[in-house]
């Protein structure tokens, strides 16, 4: 029987997720499931705490649910999550004398599948999960395999959508996988309100360059097998692909068209998070200073009433270019 061309990439993703959880992650996942009893299908751990293998700081999770009706008793939260997924929440969980912190996003299985597909309108989900993550809890093996398939699709989507920006000579593109990742990270982060410095983006790739190169190469092979690329070959440290010139041109125009939309949706998500996250203003100020090196001053009134008076802070960050 002929092998599924996407199976190799899914196998790589599955092996990547064989790492054990830390006690802090297990504690936080238990608390998340307690908040949404019976609704959680899987929990993905990603972000800086995973990369640095540390329990210090705020852990980042995506919580996949069967439906928003199952996840919430609040009609308001169901509607918000349906209109503009995901909803983002803050959580603290204590084990013994240690308090662990998490930021977690709730998204349905159906919305996660759509958001990792190559037809997805914006990169909010696939850009995150093309990078390393860890499936730290799932309810059964069937769900686990399905999530692995979506994670593999996230990598494929990133490679398909951003490789069009690699140098082209007619139908031929030749480039290093490092160059592909640097370009992809730069463009996807700039499509959100995230003030990452170039050095930070370089470290994101170098954190696990071998992994990133391996999954990108597998994604290119998958795209070639599916006919999206005319051909794909390894050329020493570089790769060479062929695709029609009109496909390269359309891919570039498509990205330029969706980038303003993606930034607008990111801004709306930020405003929405003000109603779900909790004490969000200090968290945002900490994140901005940590990622951009730019301190942000706010008034006592803005700290007491961030939803009413925090908007000028966001506007000021946008004007200064701290949030790009």
pLDDT of residue 196: 67
Domains contained in the chain, CATH given: 7-256 (3.30.460.10), 279-324 (no CATH)
Q: What is the pTM of this model?
A: 0.86
3 φ, ψ (degrees, to nearest 5)? -75, 135
pLDDT per residue over 173-188, tens digit each?
999 999 999 999 999 9
- Give the side-chain half-sphere CA count within 13 A for 179: 13
Question: Between 211 and 284, where is the model more confident?
Answer: 211
pLDDT per residue over 85-121, tens digit each?
999 998 889 888 888 989 999 999 999 999 999 999 8
- Cα-based distances in Å from 253 to 89, 191, 246, 249, 259: 35, 14, 10, 6, 10
pLDDT of residue 270: 79
- Cα-based distances in Å from 124 to 185, 191, 265, 278: 12, 8, 9, 22
User: Exposed, middle or buried: residue 240 (CB in 10 Å: 0-12, 13-18, 19+)?
Assistant: middle
Question: Between 201 and 112, where is the model more confident?
Answer: 112
Mapped onto helix, strand or coil, the DSSP state of residue 33 is: helix
pLDDT of residue 267: 85
pLDDT per residue over 301-311, tens digit each?
655 655 555 56
pLDDT per residue over 164-175, tens digit each?
999 999 999 999
């Amino acid at each position: 029987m002929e092998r599924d061309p996407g199976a190799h990439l899914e196998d790589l993703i599955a092996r990547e997720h064989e790492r054990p959880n830390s006690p802090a992650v297990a504690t936080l996942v238990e608390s998340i499931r307690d908040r949404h009893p019976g609704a959680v299908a899987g929990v993905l751990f990603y972000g800086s705490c995973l990369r640095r293998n540390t329990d210090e700081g705020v852990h980042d999770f995506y919580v996949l649910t069967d439906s928003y009706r199952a996840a919430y008793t609040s009609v308001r939260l169901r509607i918000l999550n349906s209109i503009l997924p995901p909803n983002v929440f803050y959580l603290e969980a204590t084990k013994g004398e240690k308090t662990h912190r998490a930021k977690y996003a709730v998204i349905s299985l159906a919305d996660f599948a759509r958001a990792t597909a190559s037809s997805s309108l914006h990169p909010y989900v696939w850009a995150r999960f093309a990078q390393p993550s860890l499936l730290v809890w799932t309810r059964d093996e069937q769900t686990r395999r399905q999530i692995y398939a979506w994670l593999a699709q996230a990598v494929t989507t990133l490679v398909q959508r951003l490789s069009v920006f690699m140098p082209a000579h007619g139908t031929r593109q030749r480039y290093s996988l490092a160059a592909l990742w640097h370009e992809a990270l730069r463009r996807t982060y700039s499509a959100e309100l995230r003030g990452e410095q170039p050095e930070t983006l370089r470290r994101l790739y170098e954190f696990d360059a071998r992994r990133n190169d391996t999954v990108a190469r597998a994604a290119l092979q998958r795209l070639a097998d599916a006919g999206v690329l005319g051909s794909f070959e390894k050329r020493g440290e570089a790769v060479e692909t062929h695709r029609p010139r009109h496909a390269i041109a359309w891919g570039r125009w498509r990205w330029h068209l969706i980038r303003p939309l993606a930034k607008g949706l990111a801004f709306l998500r930020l405003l929405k998070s003000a109603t779900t996250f909790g004490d969000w203003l200090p968290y945002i100020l900490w994140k901005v200073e940590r990622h951009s090196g730019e301190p942000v001053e706010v008034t006592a009134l803005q700290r007491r009433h961030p939803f009413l008076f925090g908007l000028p802070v966001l506007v000021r960050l946008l004007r200064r270019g701290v949030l790009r």
